[in-house]
Amino acid sequence: MEEKNTETCSAIKCVGCGASLKFSPGKSSLACEYCGAENKIEMATVGVIEEIDFERFLAENIETVDKQEVNTVHCKNCDATTTLKPNVTADNCPFCATPLVVKEGSTTKIIKPKYVLPFKMEQKAAFENFKKWVGSLWFAPGNLKAYTQNADKLNGMYLPYWTYDSDTSSNYTGQRGTYYYVTETYTTTENGKPVTKTRQVQQTRWTPAFGTVQNKFDDVLVLASKSLPEKYTNVLEPWDLQNLSDFNENFLSGFRTECYQIDLKSGFDKAKSIMVETIRETVRKDIGGDTQQISTVNTSYYDTKFKHILLPIWLSAYRYNKKVYRFMINGRTGEVQGERPYSALKIAMLVIVILAALALALYFYKRSQQP
């Protein structure tokens, strides 16, 4: 099969003086800080989002899809692989703050992203959100707040995601539970005497249930990275995917991009795990009744499609007591999520204050009981 063109990511050059340019979030052009020239970004309007057939893609051994070559450096500490900043001789991993051996960078060929959601929030605004978030943390170490004085610690990063569309057909077996009530007689004591009373007690009548349910899934989002905890990246959602732009390297200029660590097939396995709860909820509705028990669900997936997209975050890694904490900011909405350290000293002081207060209260209570 004939392979489509392979492209190489590189810094965007000014049409006026040839200087390297950096994309400014929310702008439709790249302003050159050296000669002032405005370098227009071709904002390709996405009409119908194109998806790639999943089964055909796997069967054809990915030879007919667009690919690109990117210059990357691999972190031996956290295993992240990211693009290199232009003309750097020393750098730290944006995911774990470990010094990187830039000279060991390599060229990697990956599936070319189909779409990108450009940064909308500038670094300064993102940093203000970050400072507010840190300021709201209870028992944070004092030097954590001092850390928020340097906006340069925030790295603009595009994370790789797979999205999957799929139709599903699920055969299930289970039981339908219908509530009914019976009158129960019981004995209690009132005014020192036994009294017989009755009450209504809920029971459940179970009957077998089986059937088939259909579901249609659109844009099931799977992070194709292992570098960040999903419990935080998931809360960065929702993403305004309706504003995706056709992939344009201009949007990446001045930012870093992580290469995907989770391949397409493994990504679909993760997508299935996301679909499970929706499928089970559909099964419960189909079973009906007042309550349900699901015994088996066998799901078939068909007409599955995917796309590779890049989503923007501001990222910072912070080391405290030899442990790495990461803070993430949605580059579109400003939503902040992340790990945080606790100050053992502040917690200990609070415990001491509470114990002292309890001891003082007990002391006055005992004194009040003395004749």
Q: Which of 64-73, 251-260, 328-337, 351-360 has the lowest mean pLDDT?
A: 64-73
Q: Which residue has the higher pLDDT, 355 or 23?
A: 355
- Average of per-residue pLDDT across 129-135: 77
Residue 281 reports pLDDT greater than 90? yes
pLDDT above 90 covers a percentage of the chain that reads 32
**What pLDDT score does 302 carry?**
94
* CA pair distance 369, 345, nearest whole angstrom: 36
Nearest partner of 85 among 200, 282, 254, judged by Cα: 254
The pLDDT-based confidence of 129 (bands split at 50, 70, 90) is confident
**What pLDDT score does 346 carry?**
66
The pTM (predicted TM-score) of the whole model is: 0.75
Strongest mean pLDDT among 125-134, 305-314, 320-329, 351-360: 305-314
**What pLDDT score does 18 carry?**
65
* CA pair distance 231, 323, nearest whole angstrom: 18
C-alpha distances out from residue 141 to 100, 146, 261, 319, 320, Å: 27, 9, 33, 12, 9
* CA pair distance 210, 171, nearest whole angstrom: 8
**How does DSSP classify residue 160?**
E
Nearest partner of 72 among 62, 61, 85, 63, judged by Cα: 85
**How does DSSP classify residue 235?**
G
Q: Which of 80-84, 125-129, 135-139, 334-338 has the lowest mean pLDDT?
A: 135-139
Rounded to 10 degrees, what is the CA torsion of 336, 110, 56, 51? Answer: 40
Residue 288 reports pLDDT greater than 70? yes
Residue 79 reports pLDDT greater than 90? no
* Mean per-residue pLDDT over the chain, rounded: 80
- Average of per-residue pLDDT across 170-195: 93
C-alpha distances out from residue 239 to 79, 118, 184, 191, 330, Å: 26, 11, 54, 64, 8
**What pLDDT score does 7 carry?**
36
Q: Which residue has the tokens 């079973």?
A: 287
C-alpha distances out from residue 28 to 39, 118, 230, 278, 341, Å: 9, 10, 32, 39, 39
- Average of per-residue pLDDT across 191-195: 89
Tally the C-alpha atoms within 13 A of residue 242's C-alpha that lie toward its C-beta. 1
Contact at 8 Å (CB) between 24 and 99?
A: no
Nearest partner of 133 among 119, 148, 146, judged by Cα: 148
- Average of per-residue pLDDT across 337-353: 69
- Average of per-residue pLDDT across 122-139: 78
- Each residue's pLDDT tens digit, 266-279: 999 999 999 999 99
Nearest partner of 254 among 73, 7, 23, judged by Cα: 23
**Tokens of residue 143, six digits:** 């030097």
Residue 249 reports pLDDT greater than 50? yes
